[in-house]
Amino acid sequence: MSNSQPQRSSIFAGLLLIVLGALFLLNRFDPALGLGRLIRLYWPVLIILWGVAKLIDYLAARSAGQARPPILSGGEAALLILLAFVLSGFAFHDWIRLHIPDDEINISPFGESFSQTREVAPQTIPAGAHVTIETFRGNIAVHAAEGNEIRASANESASAANQSDANTKMNQVEVAIEQTGDGYILHPSRHSDYHDGVRVDLDVQLPKTASVDAHASHGDISIAGVAGRIDAHTESGDIEVHDAGSDVTAALQRGVARITNAAGNVRISGRGGDVDVANVAGDLTVEGPFLGSTRVRKVGGTTRCHSPWTDLTVAQMTGRLELDAGQIDLSDAAGPAKLLTHNKDIDVENVAGRLEIADSHGDVKVGYAAPPREDIIITNQTGEVRVTLPAKSSFEVSAASRSGEVESDFSDPALRTVNEGAMGRLDGQFGAKAGAPVPKITITTSYGTIQLRKSP
């Protein structure tokens, strides 16, 4: 005969099933509730439920004279794994909706996406007025037009179990134009809360003379033909500006920035992927860790690019600049240029002003189609340096490699080349006329060959 006590069943499995059913029920009634965010914030509640269930199991078993159930049975473990998959799915779906607002994949088991387009009542504004355009989740497209009115259409979309429920959600969001102390604001009302689940894309026509502030928290911004100042800001999306008549400011946290034809200064800041800028009349500043390719063409003022790994300044760039993870290419600048970087190869052509380069763990190539008129200063560590000049150039040179050779195509009694042991040096002048100033070329590298070449 066995004297073992009967074992009590745990209530924890039942609580897990209740939680799982409640999640599916909430998602059915409101797919845009933001369960993923709630799960990320309040998942420790499961641990509390587990503790409460085990405490109740223990007290009930002792009261009934039964053996208490195990801490975690096989069935409970299987339910926990299933619940973990469900919670992860909700959290992932929530993350997709928050960070990739253009994504059309609907992984909700109960909801689908519905949309509608509504026209906004136009508003007459004075010439040169300041207009602010905002949407929490959605794209903003702005076009300049003749006349003196703001005209806009709003394309709204929402996820729900049916068209009626989606319409209820979308109809709660009103898009209006309001006059403020410093201008006008166009924005959806009651749209700042992430849980409303309504996406609002705005297509706006403005008088050409207006200035614009556009803010899309999760969406793309495109602005074209506006003559006034432009300020665009998105936390998750791309920014495109074309044919701007004044200064342009673009701030983003992820995405791509494209600015073409700006009559004023351009400033791009934050972080993201590619940066593509062309035809800027004023200064250009790119500041932040943009991890893609940066391409710049024709900047009338000064171009500045600052990141954790590169600090670059170029004046009056009539050619192009291309910058990526391992390479900097610069060609045709009418003013001075200064490049400070590391772990990149550098290729520079035809900088008319003073040129300064500081690099490490990369090769440096500098070429001129016409004899240089300003000083050239190149400092490198663990990399080769090659400078190519026209045969008719005049210059003073001081080049030294602590662990490498120096090679020169230029020969003159005033030039002295020495390669002894591990060190190479080149010093002196070439083509200098008595009393005439010449540019000075200073090159140093700790390891690598220095080459002074004649262009073909």
Residues 6 or more apart whose Cβ sits within 8 Å of residue 248: 229, 230, 232, 241, 259, 262, 264, 265, 266, 267
| 439 three-class SS | coil
Q: Which two tokens stand for residue 380?
A: 């490198």
Q: What is the DSSP string of 136-196?
A: EES-EEEEEESSSEEEEEEEEEEEESSHHHHHHHHHT--EEEEEETTEEEEEETT---GGG
Q: Assign 35 a pLDDT band (cuts: 50, 70, 90).
A: low
Contact 90, 36 (CB under 8 A): yes
Is 60 exceeded by the pLDDT of residue 306? Answer: yes
Q: Given a cut of 90, is residue 92 above it in pLDDT?
A: no
At 2, is the pLDDT very low, low, confident or very high (cuts 50, 70, 90)?
A: very low
Q: What is residue 152's predicted lDDT score, i.e. its pLDDT?
A: 94
pLDDT at 10: 67
Compute the distance between CA of residue 129 and CA of residue 147 in angstroms, rounded to an integer: 13
Question: Is the per-residue pLDDT at 28 higher than 70?
Answer: no
Distance CA 245, CA 96 (A): 36
CA pair distance 82, 64, nearest whole angstrom: 32
Percent composition of the chain: helix, strand, coil (DSSP 3-state, to 5): 20, 45, 35
pLDDT, tens digit, for every residue of 93-150?
555 554 454 444 444 444 578 888 999 999 999 999 999 999 988 999 999 999 999 9
Calculate the average pLDDT of the chain. Answer: 85
The two structure tokens encoding residue 65? 């004279």
User: What per-residue confidence (pLDDT) applies to 333?
Assistant: 97
Return all residues near 177 (Cβ < 8 A) that are at least 6 apart: 120, 121, 122, 123, 150, 152, 184, 185, 186
Q: How far is 405 from 331, CA to CA, in rounded Å?
A: 27
Q: Give the residue among 9, 87, 97, 7 at the shortest CA–CA distance from 46.
A: 87
Top-confidence range, 43-47, 115-119, 304-308: 304-308
The residues pairing with 221 across neighbouring beta strands, listed in sequence order, are: 140, 239
Q: How far is CA 134 from CA 55, 151, 166, 176, in A?
A: 51, 15, 22, 11
Q: What is the mean pLDDT of residues 159-186?
A: 86
Please state, in angstroms and rounded to a whole number, the distance separating the CA atoms of residues 456 and 447: 27
pLDDT band at 304 (very low <50, low <70, confident <90, very high): very high
Residue 30 is predicted with a pLDDT of 53
What is the phi/psi pair of residue 433, to 5°? Answer: -95, 150
What pLDDT, in 10s, does the model give residues 382-433?
A: 899 999 999 999 999 999 999 999 999 999 888 999 988 788 999 999 988 7
pLDDT the model gives residue 452: 96
Condensed to tens digits (0 to 9), the pLDDT of residues 328-376 reads 999 999 999 999 999 999 999 999 999 999 999 999 999 999 999 999 9
| Interatomic CA distance for residues 17 and 226, integer angstroms | 57
Q: What's the sign of the alpha-carbon dihedral 261, 265, 268, 273?
A: positive
Q: Can you tell me which residue has the tokens 């290729």?
A: 347
Does the pLDDT at position 326 exceed 80? yes
In which band, very low, low, confident or very high, does the pLDDT at 169 lie, cut at 50, 70 and 90?
Answer: confident
- Compute, in degrees rounded to 10, the torsion defined by CA atoms 50, 51, 56, 61: 90
72 has pLDDT over 50? yes
Report domain extents, the chain: 12-99, 363-456
d(CA 49, CA 51): 5
- Of 43-57, 81-95, 217-231, 376-390, the poorest mean pLDDT is in 81-95
Which positions ≥6 away from 419 have C-beta within 8 Å?
405, 406, 425
SS (H, E, C) 36-89: HHHHHHHCCHHHHHHHHHHHHHHHHHHHHCCECCCCCCHHHHHHHHHHHHHHHH
